[in-house]
Amino acid sequence: MGMTKVMPLPANQTSISGTLSTTNIIMANWSKAMWENVLNRAIRMLASRPFGSHFFSAIATVSGN
């Protein structure tokens, strides 16, 4: 099998990751599906104008409950 070469991200590309914590009782009780829905809407907004021309791709993942 061939070897996969992993290349570093070019300087003009950025990978961002993080953790979101909330003390809002309503948001704190949202299901994983609800958070996935919110993040999918955020990705669609990044893909649309005026942001779309600045993003090649965006990925969001939800982990936890």
- Residue 11 has a pLDDT of 65
Q: Is 65 inside any structural domain?
A: no
Give domain status of residue 1, yes or no: no
pLDDT score for 10: 64
The whole domain housing 43 covers: 26-54
Q: Answer whether residue 26 shows pLDDT above 80.
A: yes
Enumerate residues 6+ apart whose C-beta is below 8 A from 48.
none
Residue 21, domain member (yes or no): no
Verdict on whether the full-model pTM lies above 0.85: no
Judge whether residue 1 has pLDDT over 60: no
* Long-range contacts of the stretch 5-14 (C-beta < 8 A, 24+): 13/56
The conformation of residue 29, written as its DSSP 8-state character, comes to T
Instruction: Name the domain count of the chain.
Output: 1
